[in-house]
Amino acid sequence: MSEQPQTQPHSPPKPLLEVEQLKIHFRSRGRLVRAVDGVSFSVGSGEGIAVIGESGSGKTLSALATLALVGGEPGVVSGAIRYQDDTLQTDLLQGIEACFRQEQGTYKPTWKAEGWRHAYRERATALAGRKIGIIFQNPISSQDPLWSVGRTLSESIRLHNPKATRKEASQEAEHWLERVHIKNPAGVMRSYPHQLSGGMCQRVMIASTLAMRPRIIIADEPTTGLDMTTKAQVLYLLHEAREKYGSSLIFVTHEIGLISGLTERVLVMRRGHVVDHFATSDLLDVKMRGETLETSHEFAEHTQDLLRCSLALEERRARVL
């Protein structure tokens, strides 16, 4: 990969999750779409990384692949996803080489692919929730509309701790709602997702993810569609989760302004490639003077474009206020 930077700003202590040369392809109206084309990154224990990029750059897909949530054909075709902590060590994409035949840059599934996908999903289910938790973009539609918030929460708690009785689980669920700063936990427990506001729902989703004590939290644009104050609350909760429970964080977003203070490293993605990789602290002294960026760090061209857009927007906002 010529576009990939060779040196990393600082090497992580011990990678918890390693993604190597991940490729996700789709067939769309006869054409091949290389949605993710050779992406590598790693997350250490307790570390926070941000993945930024425009929509369609493959950042969400790369995150979803760690839990085998990528649908479509042929899907994940090549690469390695390794997870390891003190109790569990697994290579999610084990045996992928035998399942896809390479022909001039495209990957054709062989007869082994179906069985392999099943094994991949099984391995991912073992990780899902307990090791890696995902917070999705649309909090309201990612809860079962016919189940009350309390039942959804209790279900994740009992999944984490199967010995808990129904009553214990619902008590713990209420605790978790308190921990994400919901004022009326008993009332929220009884209500249904569509009766809550977006911000409330996102907090419930964060609670249900945190309740399983995952080692890694993947936040997939968790602030989309929320107003500024709720956005700040959600970011604060994620920050708190890292501080209190020592979780790692993969923060997927297109808003470059949100990541400072939450993550240590930043990956910039574009068209399925990682185009830039730097420490979050490099962003601190970025300033705009007229049309040019003034920084001490050498950013890749695409990162500079993103920064310029974001800063220009901020400036305009400052002028309006």
Partner 1 sequence: MFQRLQVLLRENPHLFFGLAFVLLLLASCLIGALYPYDPVIARMQGNTPLQDPSWRFWLGTDHSGQSLLILLIKGTQAFFFPGILASFLALLGGISLGAFAGFYGGWIEQIGRYLSTLINSFPNLILVLLCTTVFGPNVYLIAAIVGITFVPHIAEEIRRKVAQLKAEEFVMAAEAHGLQERRILFLHIVWLHCLPLILRQLVFLWSALIILETSLNYLGRGVLQKGISWGKMLYDYRSGLFRGEIWSPLVVTLVVMLTMSGLYLFAEGLQRWSQGKGVLHQEQPLDS
* Contacting range for partner 1; rule: CB under 8 A; set: 22-30, 124-132, 229-237, 265-273: 124-132
Distance between CA 169 and CA 176 in Å, rounded? Answer: 10
Which helix or strand (DSSP H or E) is residue 151 part of? helix 149-160
Residue 257 half-sphere exposure toward CB, CA atoms < 13 A: 14
**Cβ-count burial 258-273 (b if 16+ within 10 Å, e if not):** bbeebbbbbbbbbbbb
Residue 248 or 280: the one with the smaller Cβ distance to partner 1 is 248
Q: Is residue 212 part of the contact set for partner 1 (CB under 8 A)?
A: yes
Q: Of these, 156, 170, 263, 303, which contacts partner 1 (CB under 8 A)?
A: 156
Q: What is the closest distance, in whole angstroms, from the C-beta atom of residue 71 to partner 1 in the complex?
A: 8
Q: Of these, 21, 28, 102, 125, which contacts partner 1 (CB under 8 A)?
A: 125
Residue where the block lists tokens 């926070």: 48
Which amino acid does the sequence have at 284?
L
Distance between CA 253 and CA 267 in Å, rounded? Answer: 11
Q: Is residue 85 part of the contact set for partner 1 (CB under 8 A)?
A: no
Indicate left, alpha or beta for 181 from its phi (over 0: left) and psi (-120 to 50: alpha).
Answer: left
Q: Of these, 6, 104, 146, 319, which contacts partner 1 (CB under 8 A)?
A: 146
Q: Is residue 161 part of the contact set for partner 1 (CB under 8 A)?
A: no
DSSP letter string, 180-218:
TT-S-HHHHHHS-GGGS-HHHHHHHHHHHHHTT--SEEE
Residues 222-261 vs partner 1: string with x where CB under 8 A? ----------------------------------------
Which helix or strand (DSSP H or E) is residue 176 part of? helix 166-179
Q: Of these, 33, 80, 159, 300, which contacts partner 1 (CB under 8 A)?
A: 159
Q: Is residue 117 part of the contact set for partner 1 (CB under 8 A)?
A: no
Q: What is the closest distance, in whole angstroms, from the C-beta atom of residue 49 to partner 1 in the complex?
A: 19
Q: Of these, 90, 195, 224, 295, which contacts partner 1 (CB under 8 A)?
A: 195
Residue 14 or 166: the one with the smaller Cβ distance to partner 1 is 166
* Three-state DSSP state, 261: coil
Q: Is residue 168 part of the contact set for partner 1 (CB under 8 A)?
A: no
* Contacting range for partner 1; rule: CB under 8 A; set: 15-23, 140-148, 180-188, 230-238: 140-148
Q: Is residue 130 part of the contact set for partner 1 (CB under 8 A)?
A: yes
Q: Of these, 60, 209, 253, 303, which contacts partner 1 (CB under 8 A)?
A: 209
* Three-state DSSP state, 79: strand
